Amino acid sequence: MLESRASYDDLIDHLVRTTPLQRGEAARVIQDVLAYFDETAEDFVRRRHRELQAKGLVNTDIFDRITAELPYRAVTPPEYSLRQLRRIVYG
């Protein structure tokens, strides 16, 4: 858990000093940011597919949007073909 990792104490302290966040909220923000950066490209594709499908988009639009979003991830993943994206989602 984040609280047990002393290496983030300085960052938590900084957020508490510079924002209206309480200590627990600051720790949660850091956890969320770290989780965002830990997400693999495949997990991102699956998550975004579910999110966009829940909004009523069709696969053609979903895969176009995912293809456009992938290069802007924190660590740029490899370029996926439409077939590779479908395989990630559907196996």
Together in a domain, 57 and 86: yes
Q: What is the mean pLDDT of each run of 10 residues along the chain (91 residues)?
A: 65 96 96 88 94 97 95 83 94 90
Together in a domain, 47 and 76: yes
**How many independent structural domains does the chain possess?**
2
Together in a domain, 29 and 45: no
The alpha carbon of 88 is separated from its chain's Cα centroid by a whole number of angstroms, namely 16
pTM of the model as a whole: 0.66
Which residue has tokens 């996926």? 80
Q: Residue 65 has what pLDDT?
A: 97
Q: Residue 1 has what pLDDT?
A: 45
d(CA 7, CA 84): 38
Together in a domain, 14 and 51: no
Q: Residue 73 has what pLDDT?
A: 85
Q: Residue 5 has what pLDDT?
A: 53
**Terminal CA-CA length for the chain:** 32
Structural domain including 15 reads 2-38
d(CA 44, CA 39): 6
Q: Residue 77 has what pLDDT?
A: 77
